[in-house]
Structure 1
Amino acid sequence: MARSPIKKQLNGVTLLKEYASWVYCTGCKKTIAYLCYITYDKCHLDFECSCGSKGNLYISFTNADYAPNKHPLTIVKNRLCCPTDQSPLITFVEKNLMHYNCHIACASCKNEFFHNK
């Protein structure tokens, strides 16, 4: 059964699918990230694209507050994954981003992770 987000705000970005898949900058139409489908409960991303456009994305499937986790996300191939269970969460296309801040909560372990450039 497909999940439906309870909150979804997109500013300066578009998504290929309803709440996941490829994330595109609306300024230059380049891919800036890939958000995995069922492994996250919340994602908040603020970014500045290499084209100069700024934007943010906030998607949540729950109102729950998650415990911040100090451990860095694990890199498996090119994906940032949960360090607890290796669930793939998000991939950034670094060459298309000047900088970004991301808070993402793992659906499995219920921890929130922070990652930035």
Structure 2
Amino acid sequence: MSDDDREFVEQRCMEVGTRAVSGSPLLGLAGLCLGHTARRFGHLGDEALALARSLAVRAETDPADVDGRALDGYDDVRSFLHLWVTPTGAVAGQAAFGLLTMAVRRLSVACLFHQMM
């Protein structure tokens, strides 16, 4: 992945990820490569993002179909593109962040109340 052309790299990953047959180790590799592309360039096109997510869902559903490297790749995609969507589409980050914010507020109020006593 020494090429500086993101679209070229992305296209190669997509070719592998869409042409390989179920069970091929190339599917997991394609997902992992999309994750590396997201890390290196800080961007993925819509189709590449959809493929990374699709491969991760398939890996989560049936590891014999797509190996776990696709999940690792999608983790990189989420991390480096600042996405908080799980492979199945749940917006995990927003819900967790909302709960965490509420807990911190309650703790702050409890500490303040305790200090006043």
- TM-score range (shorter-chain normalised) is under 0.3
| Larger radius of gyration between Structure 1 and Structure 2 | 2
Higher relative contact order (CA 8 A, sep 6+): 1
Q: Which has the higher strand share?
A: 1
